[in-house]
Chains A and B, each alone.
Chain A
């Protein structure tokens, strides 16, 4: 009974490179959420997706960040041209809809 899976767990990028973070929700969950946790801060909502649709991206930075949840495969959070301020823990959560969200172990992104 696998929970939410995220990979990689740790990702190091140099400034200007691209980062791709993957999230496989709990089997049967069609709702995926991405949150970011900066050092010494709480988690901040980024985006909410259902299969093939972005429902709410009000927490996504306007530039360089994008997310998708294709019909097949994991949800992807993509950060283009990373900067040092993007260094954070990125958590994915899934739910079957309007119920408890189950969180993955997170991806820790370090930008050098």
Chain B
């Protein structure tokens, strides 16, 4: 079983619509949670950290459910520039070794 699992998609989203997707993680000792974005196999870039109480950054909302061991990302009012692969990332180490999911592809269409 993979340590971090994601639906690969693609999620085809009309511009302006809302899209949401989850990832699950297997290690209950995981301490830190993130969503990264990766464009066309370029380097991953941090989109947002995910906190237990849930957090919002503009059009992006992240939720963490420790009991069920899943993390969600919701994108509101999708823009064409939101088209990318979204990587769910978990860390169990205090010094920050990251475990990546394989990514969820989002395609925003005009």
Are the CB atoms of A98 and B96 closer together than 8 Å?
Answer: yes
- A61 in the interface, Cβ–Cβ < 8 Å? no
Task: Report B-chain residues with C-beta under 8 Å of the C-beta of A104.
Answer: 43
Taking a contact as CB atoms under 8 Å apart, the answer to whether A42 and B45 are in contact is: no
Describe A's contact surface by its main secondary structure.
strand
- How far, in angstroms, from A104 to B99 measured CA to CA in the complex? 17
Cα distance, A40 to B46, chains bound together (Å): 20
- B102 proximity list for chain A (CB < 8 A): 40-42
A31 within 8 A of B: yes
- Taking CB atoms, residues of chain B closer than 8 Å to A89 are 41
Q: How far is the CA of A41 from the CA of B38 in the complex (A)?
A: 12
Known contacts A41-B102, A44-B100: A106-B42 contact under CB 8 Å? yes
Are B87 and A42 in contact, with the CB atoms below 8 A? yes
Q: Mark B75-106, 1 if CB is under 8 A from A, else 0.
A: 00000000000010000011111111111000
A43 closest partner in B (C-beta): B100
> Would you call A97 an interface residue if the criterion is a C-beta within 8 Å of the partner chain's C-beta atoms?
yes
> Residue B44 at the A interface, CB < 8 A?
yes
Q: Is the CB of B43 within 8 A of A91?
A: yes
B97 touches A48 (CB 8 A): yes
Q: Do residues A101 and B96 form an inter-chain contact, with CB atoms below 8 A?
A: yes
Residues on B lying within 8 angstroms of A by beta carbon are 4, 41-46, 87, 93-103
Q: Which A residues have a C-beta under 8 Å from some C-beta of B?
A: 31, 33, 35, 37, 40-45, 48, 55-56, 89, 91, 93, 95, 97-101, 103-106
